[in-house]
Amino acid sequence: MRRKRTASINLAMGLVKSGEAAAIYSAGNSGAVMASAIFRLGRLRGIDRPAIGALFPTKDPARQVLVLDVGANMDCKPVYLKQFAQLGSIYSTNVLGIRQPRVGLLNIGEEDCKGNDLTLGAYPLLAQEPSIRFSGNCEGRDVLSTDFDVVVCDGFSGNVLLKFLESVASVLLEVLKAEIPRGRRGKVGAAFLRGNLRRIKKRLDHAEHGGALLLGVDGICVVGHGSSSSVSVVSAIRLALTAADNNVMEQLHQLSGGGDSVVTAV
């Protein structure tokens, strides 16, 4: 950031800042992407920490759940989680088309007395925030249940959740392959199941989602995995285009009171 101001990530952020580009996508180091976005684009006024939001599949093929933060902030304060909920609600409403998205707080139990200092402090803030529809604590088993549209957590927990989900598709397919009988009968059965297996992989494969949105900065920024395939890159660019087409930044600016972004000098 400091030594190489003409690095491609800096130049790309500059194009978004000047309006010459609608969005930026990078599969580079996520920390560098976040730092460049904060320094070049600036944070939205009223947002202390930007969050990386990832779309997870659910048991309903027509619905997804937005989980944030999945890696930008390892240590969080309760007020950060409230801001994540506001950012996620705006994105879900304007891009995913969900009216009054249900917000959940990732926790180890449904009761409001459960959790650590972070979740115990965040719960009343979320419950009292009029701009969101808070639906209570969300246990790990409920993340993919369709009971919630937005799930907020600290970046440490969210990243563990994301990496675990990424492994599920490959493990599930390997288990299915191992359980299909060998020989002629197995080949016939596999031929009938091929379409089903492809649909299962498509629903669970993180490559189909491509990347995660960095919400809270003054511009559309999508962060990709370092090992992204060509399918992932195309999916991520499609995600950025969808956010731009739905004018998500206009809604996020309204959340911040329409003021100027907060830029940190390098």
Residue 103, beta-bridge partner list: 134, 150
Instruction: Give the pLDDT score at 263.
Output: 45
pLDDT tens for each residue of 17-67:
999 999 999 988 888 888 899 999 999 988 999 999 998 888 888 888 999
Q: In angstroms, rounded to a whole number, what is the distance separating the alpha carbons of residues 179 and 184?
A: 14
* Mean per-residue pLDDT of the chain: 86
- Comparing CA positions, the residue from 8, 55, 36, 12 lying closest to residue 210 is 55
Q: In angstroms, rounded to a whole number, what is the distance separating the alpha carbons of residues 93 and 82?
A: 17
Q: How many residues in the chain?
A: 266
What pTM was estimated for this model as a whole? 0.85
Q: In angstroms, rounded to a whole number, what is the distance separating the alpha carbons of residues 46 and 262?
A: 9
- Comparing CA positions, the residue from 204, 203, 199, 213 lying closest to residue 66 is 213
Q: Are 40 and 13 in contact (CB under 8 A)?
A: yes
Where residue 115 falls (left for φ over 0; alpha for ψ -120 to 50; beta otherwise) is left
Pairing of strands 102-106, 220-224: unpaired
pLDDT tens for each residue of 194-240:
666 666 666 666 555 567 889 999 999 998 877 778 888 898 899 89
Half-sphere exposure for 112 (CA within 13 Å, toward CB): 10
pLDDT tens for each residue of 124-156:
999 999 999 999 999 999 999 999 999 999 999
Look at residue 26 and give its three-state secondary structure.
strand
